[in-house]
């Protein structure tokens, strides 16, 4: 393989990191890259890390396109500068900081705390790892103007990241995200970053906020009496070496469940994630140990959370009694169905309630909401957009719940980000509710399909790393924009939703109509029979994702296996047609 030539501009950026402002270890690493690894230099310096749907995220190491003390420092100084402008009239500006189990997460959190305090900003810093939703909760509880969590969510171990939150406890959205980026870009030298902090402006927090948070979660239970009756529900839970390790079992006990079985090897907090290739609850391999334990003890439900405790994967028994994993759309459908059913039973539906889902999440959620007289809003991918709707409608309508296919869910408004701690408790409650009716969660899901329609979804992620990968992903998106397929799965493509140009083109009559959502690099193909394929690059990983959805009728539960296979075959046919 030939050695790639380094662009002089990229090399100049790398040479900047050899100056005395950078620590000795960093200078040595960069010098070695320049001397021995031209591709490494390109990947580390060809661009600056940008805020995506999840914030700042990248591989750890030296470079402008890497997570390190200097990119963390510049981001924090830029955020501090912006906060000082935005809230200049406040007597005190406050931020909260949390971090997960990843390597260097605590160190990066402490660096950020010192920088904020050096800028005169008061900091609430968690004493040890905590889940991301608790950071959102802390921002709201302590009336902070902003907050950050150091995490790369479910990415592999070499990654870390930096999520920024605003005063409502939600991730930043326009215009704040772009404004913060502009402030970061104004920093021309690391000498402008105030690394030496003021310890008098840093308050360490821990168990006191845990108790408030857990009690708030418990107040959201909709079937406490059923939970008590089924307190022996057999639950297997794993934090996959992450931040849910203490709070999920505590939350389950708060909800009334006493038989919580964990996976000891995965209770060990370790940023190397030694028992898995990737700590992603969407990956069946990450739940292998938990499923083995569930089979051994004949569990009712299996749950696994990612390192920062905002996503949850769920395993249940299928119609034959074998353990299977639910996808995010199935789990979200169960959650929305349960919560709306209970709200209706309790007479809480008054006509102003709503749920929120993302554009790549199953339309089954919208169908369930419609049947209950509840409005469903659809937003771009990223839970920050769900939170944005909650903020905009606060005081006008009542948010019940929201979900996205990527295993993130929220009930209530106590926090403004997906919450796997609460979700674990809620899914256990739904399991107890189903058991009270003599059903398993899977049987309940099949009943939902019979009542509302059978939706089948699948997802393919293609990883393309580095600059070459980014260029390839860009070319793929342009190809779908300019030359969409004419048919998929034997059905003619009728609509092309191009979110980057905010327009829908009808391929049948040629008409073009506007899309009212913000610009986003997403293409959706809709066929005449309702099949939907969505294509989007990940905002936080070097991946391009393809979401497949087909739908039809399931007249009776006994037809499930045959219809399920038909839909699997149809999705497989579409995947082959698209050359994936």
Who's near 36: CB < 8 A, 6+ residues apart? none
**Catalytic positions, please?**
153
Indicate the helix (H) or strand (E) that contains 39. Answer: helix 38-45
Q: 532-537 and 523-527 as β-strands: parallel, antiparallel, unpaired? A: antiparallel
Between the alpha carbon of residue 243 and those of residues 249, 268, 269, 284, 428, the distances in Å are 12, 10, 8, 20, 19
Using CA atoms, how far apart are residues 238 and 250, in angstroms rounded to an integer?
Answer: 13
Sign of CA dihedral 270, 273, 278, 283: negative
E strands, 380-430, where? Answer: 398-404, 408-411
Instruction: Specify whether the CB–CB gap between 152 and 496 falls below 8 A.
Output: no
Instruction: Specify whether the CB–CB gap between 296 and 374 falls below 8 A.
Output: no
Q: Among residues 277, 208, 281, which one has the least CA distance to residue 243?
A: 281
Residue with tokens 């799965």: 489
DSSP assignment letter at 67: B
Using CA atoms, how far apart are residues 349 and 369, in angstroms rounded to an integer?
Answer: 11
Q: Among residues 259, 364, 237, which one has the least CA distance to residue 305?
A: 237
Query: Which two tokens mark 170?
Result: 């939600």
Most distant pair of Cα atoms in the chain: their distance:
72
Q: Among residues 440, 150, 206, 468, which one has the least CA distance to residue 317?
A: 440
Residue with tokens 């406890």: 169
Using CA atoms, how far apart are residues 514 and 495, in angstroms rounded to an integer?
Answer: 12
Indicate the helix (H) or strand (E) that contains 367. Answer: helix 364-371
Residue with tokens 């009808």: 506
Q: What is the dihedral of CA 401, 526, 464, 357, to 10 degrees?
A: -10
Using CA atoms, how far apart are residues 506 and 313, in angstroms rounded to an integer?
Answer: 37
Using CA atoms, how far apart are residues 273 and 291, in angstroms rounded to an integer?
Answer: 18
Instruction: Specify whether the CB–CB gap between 404 and 171 falls below 8 A.
Output: no
Burial of 188 (0-12, 13-18, 19+ CB in 10 A): exposed
E strands, 127-221, where? Answer: 146-150, 159-166, 202-205
Using CA atoms, how far apart are residues 421 and 242, in angstroms rounded to an integer?
Answer: 12
Order across the sheet with 398-404: list the strands: 375-379, 353-358, 398-404, 408-411
């Amino acid at each position: 393989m030939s050695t790639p030539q380094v662009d002089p501009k990229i090399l100049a950026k790398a040479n900047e990191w050899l100056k005395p402002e950078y620590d000795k270890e960093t200078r040595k690493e960069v010098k070695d890259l320049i001397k021995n690894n031209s591709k490494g230099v390109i990947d580390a310096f060809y661009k600056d890390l940008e805020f995506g749907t999840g914030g700042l995220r990248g591989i750890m190491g030296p470079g402008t396109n890497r997570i390190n003390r200097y990119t963390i420092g510049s981001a924090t100084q830029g955020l501090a500068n912006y906060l000082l402008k935005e809230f200049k009239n406040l007597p005190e500006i406050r931020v909260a900081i949390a971090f997960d189990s990843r390597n260097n997460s605590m160190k990066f959190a402490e660096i950020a705390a010192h920088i904020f305090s050096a800028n005169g900003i008061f900091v609430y810093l968690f004493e040890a790892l905590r889940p991301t939703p608790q950071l959102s909760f802390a921002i709201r509880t302590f009336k902070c103007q902003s907050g950050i969590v150091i995490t790369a969510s479910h990415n592999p171990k070499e990654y870390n990241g930096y999520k920024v939150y605003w005063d409502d406890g939600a991730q930043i959205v326009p215009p704040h995200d772009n404004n913060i980026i502009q402030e970061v870009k104004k920093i021309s030298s690391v000498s402008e970053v105030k690394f030496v902090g003021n310890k008098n402006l840093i308050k360490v927090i821990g168990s006191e906020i845990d108790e408030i948070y857990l009690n708030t979660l418990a107040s959201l239970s909709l079937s406490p009496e059923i939970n008590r009756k089924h307190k022996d529900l057999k639950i297997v839970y794993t934090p996959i070496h992450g931040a849910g390790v203490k709070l999920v079992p505590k939350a389950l006990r708060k909800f009334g469940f006493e038989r919580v079985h964990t996976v000891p090897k995965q209770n060990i907090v370790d940023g190397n994630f030694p028992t898995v290739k990737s700590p992603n609850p969407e990956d069946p391999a990450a739940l292998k140990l938990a499923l083995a334990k569930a089979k051994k003890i004949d569990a009712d439900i299996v749950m696994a959370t990612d390192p920062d405790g905002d996503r949850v994967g769920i395993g249940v028994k299928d119609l034959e009694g074998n353990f299977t994993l639910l996808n995010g759309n199935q789990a979200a459908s169960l959650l929305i169905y349960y919560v709306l059913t209970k709200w209706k039973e309790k007479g809480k539906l008054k006509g102003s309630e709503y749920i929120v889902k993302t554009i790549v999440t199953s339309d089954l959620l919208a169908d369930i909401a419609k049947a209950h007289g509840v409005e469903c809003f659809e937003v771009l991918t990223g839970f920050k957009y769900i939170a944005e709707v909650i903020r905009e409608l606060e005081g006008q309508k009542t948010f019940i719940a929201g979900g996205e296919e990527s295993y993130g869910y929220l009930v209530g408004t106590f926090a403004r980000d997906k919450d796997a701690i609460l979700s674990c408790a809620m899914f256990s409650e739904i399991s107890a509710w189903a058991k009270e009716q003599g059903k398993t969660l899977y049987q309940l899901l099949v009943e939902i399909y019979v009542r509302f329609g059978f939706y089948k979804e699948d997802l393919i992620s293609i990883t393309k790393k580095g600059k070459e990968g980014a260029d390839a992903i860009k070319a793929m998106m342009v190809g779908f924009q300019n030359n969409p397929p004419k048919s998929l799965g034997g059905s003619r493509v009728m609509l092309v939703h191009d979110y980057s140009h905010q327009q829908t083109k009808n391929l049948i009559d040629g008409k073009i109509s506007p899309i009212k959502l913000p610009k986003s690099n997403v293409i959706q193909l809709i066929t005449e029979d309702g099949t939907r394929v969505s294509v989007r690059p990940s905002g936080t990983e070097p991946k391009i994702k393809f979401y497949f959805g087909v739908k039809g009728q399931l007249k009776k539960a006994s037809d499930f296996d045959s219809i399920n296979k038909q839909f699997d075959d149809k999705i497989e046919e579409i995947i082959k047609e698209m050359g994936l």
